Structure 1
């Protein structure tokens, strides 16, 4: 299944508390359950004003549907074409 990085512009998101982040995660997971097995949330990176999410999905359209139903922005969606890491240099 293709992997995607979703950039979400969310000013001040880095100041959310753990309970607030838990609530957002619960919302996301509930929508994912409803959408079925063609989309999976891997993890997210929370910065001061953005969240960068890594998903696996059969399509970009399904990611947009998830964002709309969950009430989260999906300002930019990029398909991952390859992964490099320190071991790539070996």
Structure 2
């Protein structure tokens, strides 16, 4: 599997809707475990007030990501293969949780 960044722009009206989609995404991801693996997501407030995400997935390819999104009923607005990772610091949320 390769690493991908997926942009889901303005996909949800609010955080509760995103939470419901995340539950479905986890279930579908477990069904597709040989093809996709959700690593993490960064939740963003879109300019129009809706909620979007930037997600990190491992997948066999973009088609597997699109199929996962189709089954969940959410967009995969943009899919980018990750060429490299540069980590300067751990995510702040993880660092705070560890304290």
**Common fold by TM > 0.5:** yes
Equivalent residue pairs, number: 84
Q: Which residue of 1 aligns with 2:94?
A: none
> What's the CA shift for 1:11?
5.6
Aligned counterparts of 1:23 and 1:11: Cα–Cα separation in 2 = 12
Aligned counterparts of 1:11 and 1:24: Cα–Cα separation in 2 = 10
Aligned counterparts of 1:37 and 1:84: Cα–Cα separation in 2 = 27
Structure 2 counterparts to residues 1-90 of structure 1, below 5 A: 1-10=1-10, 13=13, 15-17=14-16, 20-49=17-46, 50-86=52-88
Aligned counterparts of 1:35 and 1:12: Cα–Cα separation in 2 = 23
Three-state SS of the structure 2 residue aligned to 1:47 is: strand
TM-score, normalising length: structure 2: 0.74
Structure 2 gaps, min length 5: 47-51, 90-99
CA contact (8 A) 1:6 1:77 kept: yes
Structure 1 gaps, min length 5: none
Q: CA RMSD in A?
A: 1.8
The structure carrying a bigger helix percent of its residues is 1
The structure carrying a bigger strand percent of its residues is 2
Aligned counterparts of 1:38 and 1:11: Cα–Cα separation in 2 = 23
Aligned counterparts of 2:19 and 2:15: Cα–Cα separation in 1 = 10
